[in-house]
A and B are shown apart, each in its own frame.
Chain A
Amino acid sequence: MNNNLLKLALLLAVSIPVVAAEKFYADDPLQNEPRPRNAATVKPRKLNDYYDLLENSFKKRGERNTAKKTIRARDVNTLGEPMDGAWYTHRHYWNPMSDEQLQLGAGGKNPPSEAGPWTVVSAKLEGISPGFVMKDSKGDRYYVKFDPMSNPEMATGAEMIVARFLYALGYHVPDYYLIHFKADKLALGTDVKFRDSNGRERPMVQPDLDKLLTKIPQTADGGYRAIVSIQIEGKPVGPFKYFGTRGDDPNDVVPHEHRRELRALGVFAAWLDHNDSRSINTLDTLVQEGDVAYVRHHLMDFGSTLGSATVEAKTARFGGEYYLDFKSAPKQMVTLGLAVPYWAHARYPDYPAVGGFESATFRPDRWIPDYPNPSFVNRLPDDEFWAAKQVVAFTNDQIRAIVKVAQFSDPNAERYIADTLIARRDKIGRVYLTKVLPLDRFAVANGELVFHDLAKEYASEEKGPLHVTWSSFDNKTSQKAPIAAAQDFHIPGDDPGTSYLAAEIWRGDNKAKMITVYLRQTGAGTEVVGVDRAW
């Protein structure tokens, strides 16, 4: 009896066709992540900088895409968009921001108060990047960082600019301000301890603060320029990694290497030359909202962006080669260095505020950070398209408006950085808007399927007209039944038995780069409910 039942069960298993879940649920496409679970038990963690370097350089962490197995981004809705929530918020591309909003960035309304002294409450005076924490008269805490002596305005300018871009691109970033002050504005707090250059922890005294100021370039009026960020909301619980999930966070269910906004960050990092885009420059905070505490994920520390390597100008290697990259080593060894890498041909302007930033040798698809980033490595053409469409959406004027926040004293430096960002933006468009069919912003208007053709708007490659075929789509079986008569972008007439339609669109005869747009027809009308891209 037992054996017979088992046999029957197995027979059922092999004879009945597998029924997948519905492709579209009633609440698709989700615009926001569902309300987070309470994650109050998440504990702070540290990440060792050197371990992160070694781990990512010598181990293939996370689930990697390969030639045989590709895993598309998993944190997206049926339109291919990440949902608003702990990682990301739709901003400029979807709801164009004014120049003023772009310049304000993450906050813009809470600079240090000019009233009273700024009290230094802790400090890191040695190491590659000296800085301190201060409190203003309101009691708000600010992290203070400076430019290197060799390159006044470079690191602070880069951080101001890039924080604005990344905010407009949807990431959670700190609220940064530029400050100018005279030495007497600073007051040393009581019982401030720090570790000096000899590794000794001791009370900080006024000469220590004076010594720090001798390492900072002075402005023409004898003052100092610094960048400050107000403490990020929530309790810090350490950085996030670019692979796997945080084990104690119940809301963190998608491996980070499969998150679209993290894969796409590789394209943004290339644009902004953010070579230091690694875990140590991220921060998770436990944010309380009502009765729920959840982990919010931030990017931070943009001192090594554009032409700045924080403590000096970038050298040509940045963006061209990993720290521990031996792939091209045999070639370099054998040719005695006569095979010069493409990035070594870069030419930089003589603006100290710019550092090592240029566009002539920039190759978006060959740019890499300081060491392998599992999310960047895992990105697919649809992730790149998602990023590129946002990059090219910044107009020249918007880019120039953002660059202004750096308050460069040399207008040539400001112009050069803006021009370089514009040139790099255009290169990104040319490379990534051609890897897939670059149609976007699908909608229904006046009985037609409408969209933006980014190839016409930004990219040069545009071969042949667009073609479309329509099918009715069975949401339960994912079967398509062609509607032969429909061959333009007018939505086929109502079929009582059809609640979903699928429009397959391609350009010229290139069906490999096809987009399938799914529409749901309900009593309330027709809406775009899904987008699938092929390449």
Chain B
Amino acid sequence: MKTKKRAPSRHAFRLLLSLGMIFVPASTWPCRAQETRTDEIERQRDEKAAHAQYDQPRKLEKDLFYIEDNHILERLTASYHGLNLRFGGLVQGSGFALGPEYNLRTPALLGSNLQVGAQFSTKLYQKYYVGWMAPKLLHDHFSFDFNGVHRNYSQIDYFGPGPRSLKSNRTDYRLEDTAVDAALGVKPVKHLQLGGSAGYLAVNVGPGQSNSYPSTDLVFAPSITPGIDHQTNFLRYGPYAQIDYLDNPAGPASGGLYTFEYTWYRDQKLNQSDFQRMDAEIQQYFGFFNKTRVIALRAKTTLTDANSGQTIPFYMQPILGGSDDLRGFLPFRFYDNNSLLLNAEYRWHVASVLDMALFADGGKVFPRRGELNFSHLQGDGGIGFRFNIKGTQFLRLDIAGSHEGFQFWFKFNDIFVRHPVGTASAQPIF
């Protein structure tokens, strides 16, 4: 107990002595007199050395290393060699979709990619596909694609035929098809691609699975909606041409993309639906203020011509409405034998990762090709938010309004989505 009482006194004395040393003029300190700048720096180093420790990365950095080292982002967003998880890629209205995809790329395939995958959505849409893509054969002068796909979409909307169909007549049907197509392209000069493709398509249509709307076959008779009762198989083939001088295909701000396709469809089963389909699309971009502002324009038409005594089934008719064309309307809002679509966007830079857009859409479907003009267009307008990384858009939020109400679109594609050319995409839903 006694020592405990004395100890504080000694400590207090030491404290007094220390304070005295500190506040007594420095010149009277024998050791301070010899202080140099070098000593001062050495003292700092002494202190640092006494507490030196390796800088451990923070948890977030460790997680990012894990993602990077295991190429997780690439496996989610790109077609990486091996097993990947693919998001989206199904038709609009399918709900959230994802599925496994296996990519095989070996030197033995000469730079081509063999792809096998399956996707499923929250609305139970299904898609199974296999592809062999060789986009740059013989020094990038030739390309070859082979695609096989089976789709089973349980509730595609249908509102009746023609431009005057009513929103209140909403129905849905199941679209099930299987297609095999091959395309061969040649690039004779820079910016130009010519090619031809051929394929086989088998279609089946069934009752829609929506609980909210009646099935199409219960509302529309085969006389109004040809093909609702019987579906057929097609042999299809045709040429295509494309001129592409976009400055940046992933986020164009200047240049143009012009595509022309002509496809013959030959009914292989019912001999009722032989027809021809012509697709033409012009995209043009005008950038100014160092491409921080862009006017983007698109004009697109699909014209069909059924052979004498033949009809075009409704499931092969051009369709308008939805996130990629008439954005102020419901998906698949208008069906008919022909279509015309016009889009205009003014896009401007807001931040490095965000562009905005004011847009206007106009379009119509029409039964006869002679009605290809600018009268009686359905119109809408809106505003968009485009999120991008290093000039490549990865997310689009568009809000559009029309006389039928407002639509909100949350999409992972460009509005002027660049479809592959060839028969594989020369159909309304693919």
Contact = CB atoms under 8 A, between A and B. Distances in A.
B40 interface: yes
B289 A344 contact: yes
B211 to A, nearest CB: 40
B52 A251 contact: no
Among A13, A343, A476: residue with most chain B CB under 10 A: A13
Given A248-B52, A324-B352, A199 B25 contact: no
B42 interface: yes
A328 B291 CA distance: 18
A456 interface: no
Interface residues of B, number: 64
Interface string B62-85: 001100100100110000111000
A5 B12 contact: yes
A301 B274 CA distance: 62
Contacts of A535: none
A245 B53 CA distance: 11
Contacts of B353: 323-324
Interface string A191-206: 0000011111000010
A5 B9 contact: yes
B271 interface: no
B254 to A, nearest CB: 12
A214 B57 CA distance: 39
Contacts of A30: 37-38
Nearest to A4: B12
Contacts of A476: 25-27
Interface residues of A, number: 73
A408 interface: no
B352 A321 contact: yes
B305 to A, nearest CB: 43
B224 interface: no
Interface in A1-60: 1-2, 5-6, 8-9, 12-13, 16-19, 21-22, 25-28, 30, 33-34, 37, 41, 43, 45-48, 50-51, 54-55
Contacts of B370: none
A332 B75 CA distance: 35
Contacts of B139: 214
A122 B76 CA distance: 28
B358 A43 contact: no
B36 A247 contact: no
B356 interface: yes
Contact of A344 (B35, B82, B349, B356): B349
Among A43, A78, A317: residue with most chain B CB under 10 A: A317
Contacts of B82: 198-200
A27 B45 contact: no
Contact of B37 (A16, A27, A207, A344): A27
A326 B351 contact: yes
A25 B40 contact: yes
A336 interface: yes
A250 interface: yes
A199 B27 contact: no
Contacts of A77: 37
B26 A33 contact: no
B404 interface: no
A196 B19 CA distance: 68
A340 interface: yes
A222 interface: no
Nearest to A246: B55
Given A9-B12, A51-B64, A328 B351 contact: yes
A54 B60 CA distance: 10
B12 A13 contact: no
A51 B61 contact: yes
B253 to A, nearest CB: 9
Given A325-B352, A332-B350, A25 B291 contact: no
B418 interface: no
B19 A250 contact: no
A333 interface: yes
A68 interface: no
A344 B25 CA distance: 61
Given A26-B36, A325-B352, A48 B61 contact: yes
A528 to B, nearest CB: 16
Contacts of B354: 326, 329
B23 A5 contact: no
A183 interface: no
Contacts of B358: 336
B54 A45 contact: yes
A12 B336 CA distance: 98
A341 B15 contact: no
A232 B14 CA distance: 53
B53 A247 contact: yes
A315 B290 contact: yes
Among B39, B55, B65: residue with most chain A CB under 10 A: B55
A503 interface: no
A253 B23 contact: no
A202 B289 CA distance: 45
B16 interface: yes
A520 B372 CA distance: 93
A252 interface: yes
Nearest to B58: A51
Interface string A487-524: 00000000000000000000000000000000000000
Contacts of B391: 315
B20 interface: yes
B38 A344 contact: no
B49 interface: yes
Contacts of A351: none
A332 B351 contact: yes
A345 interface: yes
B349 A337 contact: yes
A8 B35 CA distance: 29
B41 interface: yes
B125 interface: no
A9 B19 contact: yes
Contacts of B350: 329, 332-333, 337
Contacts of A316: 289-292
Nearest to A207: B107
A322 interface: yes
Interface string A300-317: 000000000000000111
A346 interface: yes
Among B13, B38, B292: residue with most chain A CB under 10 A: B292
Given A46-B65, A253-B44, A315-B391, 15 more contacts: A2-B8, A5-B15, A12-B19, A25-B37, A26-B36, A28-B37, A30-B37, A30-B38, A37-B49, A196-B105, A198-B80, A199-B75, A333-B350, A340-B292, A344-B349
26 contacts: A2-B8, A46-B57, A46-B65, A48-B68, A50-B64, A55-B61, A198-B81, A199-B81, A199-B82, A205-B107, A248-B54, A248-B55, A250-B48, A252-B48, A253-B41, A316-B292, A323-B353, A326-B351, A332-B356, A333-B356, A337-B350, A340-B293, A341-B349, A344-B289, A345-B290, A476-B25
Q: Nearest 4 CB-CB pairs, A to B?
A: A337-B348, A198-B81, A316-B290, A250-B49
